[in-house]
Amino acid sequence: MKKISLAVYMLGGTILLTYHPAFAQDSSAQAGSTQASAGQSSQPNLDQDIQLLRKDIRSQKKQLIAINVPLTDAEAQKFWPVYDSYTAELTQINNTKYDVLKQYAQNNANITDAQASEWAPQILQFDANVTALRQKYWPKFSAVLPPKKAALYEQVERQAQMLIDVQLAASVPLVQP
**Residue 47 belongs to what domain range?**
7-171
pLDDT digits (tens, 9 = 90+) for 22-57: 333 333 333 333 333 444 445 566 676 677 777 778
Total domains in the fold of the chain: 1
The pTM (predicted TM-score) of the whole model is 0.71
Is 177 contained in some domain?
A: no
- In a domain, residue 42? The reply is yes
Q: 11 to each of 14, 37, 39, 126, how far by Cα in Å?
A: 7, 6, 9, 26
Instruction: Give the CATH number of the domain where residue 74 resides.
Output: 1.20.120.1490
User: Residue 79 falls within a domain, yes or no?
Assistant: yes
Residue 69 · residue 106 · CB < 8 Å: no
Q: Is the residue at 1 inside a domain?
A: no
Residue among 87, 83, 54 at smallest CA distance from 167 = 54
Burial class (CB in 10 A: 0-12, 13-18, 19+), 146: exposed
Amino acid 170: pLDDT: 82
